[in-house]
Structure 1
Amino acid sequence: MIREWMKKFPNKNYWILPSIIFAGIFILVSMGKQNLPLLVFVGSILTLICVLSIYVLFKRESPHERLNSDQFQMHLREILVKNFSIGELKDLAFNLGVDYEIIEGDGKGNKAREIIRYFKRRGELQVLFEYCLINRPNAKWWDSQENIISSIQTSNSNKSDNLQSFKYSSQQRLFAILGITISLLVTTGIAIFWPVHLTLAIAEDVDSINSNTNPTEIPLPTETAISFPTATADENLVVILPFFITADGSSNLHNRIFEEIEQTRKELSLENMRVQIDPNVVLELSDRTEAQAVGEHHNATIIIWGEETATAVFVNFLNIKEPEGASSDERVEVYGREASARLINQDLPEQLAFLSLFTVGQAVAINGNFTKAIPILEKAVGNISEGLIGINLGASPDPSVAAYFLLGWLYQVHEGNNELAVDNYSRAIENKQDFKIAYYNRGIAHFDLENFEEASIDFETSVQVDATFAQGYYNLGNSYRLLNQIDDAIESFDQAILLNPSFAEAFYARGYIYFFEQNYEASILDFSTVIELKNDQLRLDAFFGRGQAYNNQNVFQLAIEDFGTIIESLPEATLEEQYSALMNRGHVFEKLGNYGLAIADYKTAIDLDSQNANAFNALAWLYVDKLEKELDEAISLAQNAIILTEKNNPEDKLIIASYLDTLGWAYYKAGQPEIAIEKLSQALELCQNEVEVCIEINTHLNEVKKGQR
């Protein structure tokens, strides 16, 4: 095996291996009796450094090894997240022959990670990389494009084990040169000073014997650092650090906390959760950045550390990971990853039950088991006693506040129980009156409960706490809009846009306010901005809104183009979006007298969604009122529209009345006035005092009756 390994060295480098052996011999020969253990240790380390130095110097890194490295995959994920939208990720998957729907994960970051893993499993990372390089040549790559492309092309053109075609990194060069330099310097030093050292060692031995003194004791080995495996992908790991002691003496608090959490874990049968103590790190209370680094090193879910004084115990919690499924409601702010909490406790044993349940509940929630997390956290807040003193430092609330907030978030996002969400957010706010995220999320809960006045108060408070909170101004605008406080709504959207000029949702919401206020010019400008911002979720909605504004301005050609963009946006456009665009473009064609194109759009809409009554009625009315032909088909279409509405939306009496009006008018045009009067009379009974609808129905009814005379 060694011989085969040696074959990889060029002949001109054979001198290096004898040098290693020579260095090892010199180390062994130079060892004196007194420093034997130390010199053996130093010699072993020196030899290992030298061997590793030679290995990394001549170990060449292939471009395929580079592509499969964790460092490059992390960099490639960053490129995908920063330079590709959701729609462009779908295009990437389509162009590379991958079904986007089988890629797991929610959100762009998770999708990007899973796409990389998918291509890595198939051994096709190079295909993904080359696609990204071609489509995003101006992205900030970790190495020059020329180096990467050159090494890949060389590797593809020569599949033999040609070491000269590979490159090693500057870090490998530095390590190798440093290792060899240190080895040569130490070896030279030993060679020069060995005679002196040996003479002194012999003299010391003679003196020791003559004086009958005991030989020097061999020092006891130091305690080996305890290590444990990092958390796996489906595992919750809670890491506890020894507490920093400001008073004299030692502390066993970390062990007591460990035992309490471990006992709670076993009682709840949480097999995918692990609790570990890292005895190698002791941090002060303010060392949050260092604590996060330790947690990330272990891939932990939560890290706990603290400080003990003569009068109190300080305990810090830090969430390293964000709850899974946190983006199920993007309006709701998540107090998850890097969320910290701190408590001061004057009698820790009194609070160990709360502390352990709070920790376990957080870990279970972060792992995505929300149903199980809720009763654990409810039990935790039930164990809060007067011995617990919270301390608010910046964004770090005390654990009781964090527990109530997390309960509110779980009830709101994952249980859909906004009443309990409001209750728990309120408990959190009682103990932290500047808790911006709690006010904001409670505002969302009130909004969903249609308590728009309470929602506006909470959003207003959130922006008072943080005047730069654009999301708070945005939802304040939405609340004012539903309270019909239009000027206040526009002012709030203005402020959100001022704070975040790329806030597509705020432009879109303000655009529709302008639309309903019949300020079509301003509406078109806002919808155009949304389109320019390339917001994947709102882009087609903005085309639709702008198309409606152009239609109301009688700029029909631009309206047709915008509706057409939606119709042609497959598969991006949903069925509902395509249907609405077809119907609106059909209406525009009808206004222009292009009845053939209007009929084609209405029929396409019927084929697209045969359960939607709107297209049936629109086509029937076109036949009856504009063309006065195909009357039998018009009657059939109107009857279908009524049947579908009575089946799917029986409570919508006004729509049924409108469709009955179409049917009655069709019977009249077909020469059946008796049936026409019957249908129009039914329509008049259902029009619910809607003036415009009732007037039109009554006009048709009077005309039919007049025709009978």
Structure 2
Amino acid sequence: MKRGWKIILNFIVALVILFSLQEQAAFSIPNSLASQTSQLFYQGIENTKTQNYQQALANFTQVINLKSDLVSAAYSNRCLVHLQLGNNAAALSDCTAALQLNPNNLETYLNGGLAAYRLGNYQEAIEQYQAVIERNKDDYRAYYNQGLAYFALEDYPKALLNYEQALQSSDSSTIQALIYADKGLTHFFLGNTSQSLADFDAAIQLNNSNEKLYYNRACVYFHNQNYTEALNDFTKALQLNSQYAEAYLNRGLLRHGVGLEQAAIEDLNQALQQFQQQNNREGYQKTLALIENLHQIIAQSHRTVVS
């Protein structure tokens, strides 16, 4: 491959945190306050399900203020709503309050772990997931997400151990595909590119309709200078998702590297269009600069030939 631009290895890291509403059976408390509290609680659940998050926050806050037996569940559910809204600090605070009242609620630990992860508090996330593992050694969600936190801390061996545990605990092919994908990324960062490719192969065998799996495998192929397979995988990713800006960008760079200049420009123009539609200013500006640079290279090449 001739000297020129390098592929932008912006791998897609899968992140699947499964959390659920803390639905509880109706309490048998025979006074009007209890009836009002229960009604507010279940209104909050319904509003969360229908993505009416602001009203759900109001419902669960009212339940908390009424100080009934539903307070712990209300804190936990309000944590979930804050997560949906991206209010990660508020979510972590609510999960902490819920666990002080009920230290055995596994879903609350999982939600708190997600909030801590999003805040960059990876060690705290690890501790939240460990609390789940100590109470249920078969919860693949805790192993997987703890692995992601270790990955963020660049503790790749521990991340791999967690992913292996998650694979043993999950019977979902969709989830296993994501775990294999993250294993593949981890092995890549450890320099084990052959094992990385094997993991991506396993992921794609389990789920051949996920464009991000092909995209990531293409990046590994490129790193190994297997440009034909890299090109095939970028193309497959785009067949699955014709709006995949990063795949257009990297396929364009790859095509430039192997001398397919016109095809490279076409891909970069597609990437430019997709970044613009996604309001991705950084991606748009980067791609625009690459297009201008490529036109200059082509023009210079023509002048050299003529002279």
TM-score, with normalisation over the residues of structure 1? 0.38
In the alignment, is the contact (CA less than 8 A) between 1:505 and 1:538 conserved in 2? no
Q: 1:343 to 1:673 in 2, by over 3 A?
A: farther
Provide, for residues 442-463 of structure 1, a one-character-per-residue CA deviation record: whole Å limited to 9, x for no partner: 1112222332222222211222
Letter in 2 for 1:663: I
Tell me which residue corresponds to 1:660: 288
Q: 1:492 to 1:330 in 2, by over 3 A?
A: closer
2: CA distance between counterparts of 1:517 and 1:553? 13
The partner residue of 1:568 within 205, 228, 240 is 205
Tell me which residue corresponds to 2:272: 642
Question: Paired residues, what number?
Answer: 283
* Corresponding position: 1:670 with 2:280: no
2: CA distance between counterparts of 1:446 and 1:611? 30
In the alignment, is the contact (CA less than 8 A) between 1:551 and 1:559 conserved in 2? yes
Q: Which deviates more, 434-443 or 494-503?
A: 434-443
Tell me which residue corresponds to 2:6: none
2: CA distance between counterparts of 1:421 and 1:605? 38
Q: C-alpha root-mean-square deviation of aligned residues, in Å?
A: 2.3
SS in structure 2 opposite 1:419?
helix
* Corresponding position: 1:481 with 2:117: yes
TM-score, with normalisation over the residues of structure 2? 0.84
In the alignment, is the contact (CA less than 8 A) between 2:143 and 2:162 conserved in 1? yes
* Corresponding position: 1:331 with 2:20: yes
In the alignment, is the contact (CA less than 8 A) between 1:617 and 1:659 conserved in 2? yes
1: CA distance between counterparts of 2:212 and 2:218? 10
1: CA distance between counterparts of 2:245 and 2:266? 12
- Counting only pairs closer than 5 Å after superposition, residues 155-170 of structure 1 correspond to structure 2 as none
1: CA distance between counterparts of 2:120 and 2:167? 27
> How much does 1:559 deviate?
0.9
Provide, for residues 124-165 of structure 1, a one-character-per-residue CA deviation record: whole Å limited to 9, x for no partner: xxxxxxxxxxxxxxxxxxxxxxxxxxxxxxxxxxxxxxxxxx
Provide, for residues 64-107 of structure 1, a one-character-per-residue CA deviation record: whole Å limited to 9, x for no partner: xxxxxxxxxxxxxxxxxxxxxxxxxxxxxxxxxxxxxxxxxxxx
- Counting only pairs closer than 5 Å after superposition, residues 263-278 of structure 1 correspond to structure 2 as none
Tell me which residue corresponds to 1:614: 246
> How much does 1:433 deviate?
5.5
In the alignment, is the contact (CA less than 8 A) between 1:412 and 1:445 conserved in 2? yes
* Corresponding position: 1:470 with 2:157: no
The partner residue of 1:595 within 227, 230, 247 is 227
Tell me which residue corresponds to 1:548: 185
Q: 1:452 to 1:671 in 2, by over 3 A?
A: same
Larger radius of gyration, structure 1 or 2? Answer: 1
Letter in 2 for 1:420: Q
Q: How high is the sequence identity, in percent, across the aligned residues?
A: 20
2: CA distance between counterparts of 1:560 and 1:632? 30
Letter in 2 for 1:603: T
Tell me which residue corresponds to 1:558: 195
Tell me which residue corresponds to 2:262: 632
In the alignment, is the contact (CA less than 8 A) between 2:123 and 2:149 conserved in 1? no
Tell me which residue corresponds to 2:58: 423
Q: Which has the higher strand share?
A: 1
Relative contact order (alpha carbons < 8 A, sep ≥ 6): 1 or 2 greater?
A: 2
Tell me which residue corresponds to 1:496: 132
Tell me which residue corresponds to 1:343: 30
Tell me which residue corresponds to 1:406: 42
In the alignment, is the contact (CA less than 8 A) between 1:507 and 1:530 conserved in 2? yes
- Counting only pairs closer than 5 Å after superposition, residues 54-73 of structure 1 correspond to structure 2 as none
2: CA distance between counterparts of 1:662 and 1:530? 41
Letter in 2 for 1:661: A
SS in structure 1 opposite 2:29?
strand
Provide, for residues 304-351 of structure 1, a one-character-per-residue CA deviation record: whole Å limited to 9, x for no partner: xxxxxxxxxxxxxxxxxxxxxxxxx95212235xx332215xxxxxxx
In the alignment, is the contact (CA less than 8 A) between 1:404 and 1:428 conserved in 2? yes
The partner residue of 1:582 within 196, 209, 214 is 214
Letter in 2 for 1:431: K
SS in structure 2 opposite 1:671?
helix
> How much does 1:613 deviate?
2.4
SS in structure 1 opposite 2:299?
coil
Q: Which has the higher helix share?
A: 2
> How much does 1:618 deviate?
1.3
2: CA distance between counterparts of 1:426 and 1:637? 50
In structure 1, runs of 5+ residues without a counterpart are 1-328, 345-387, 391-397, 675-709
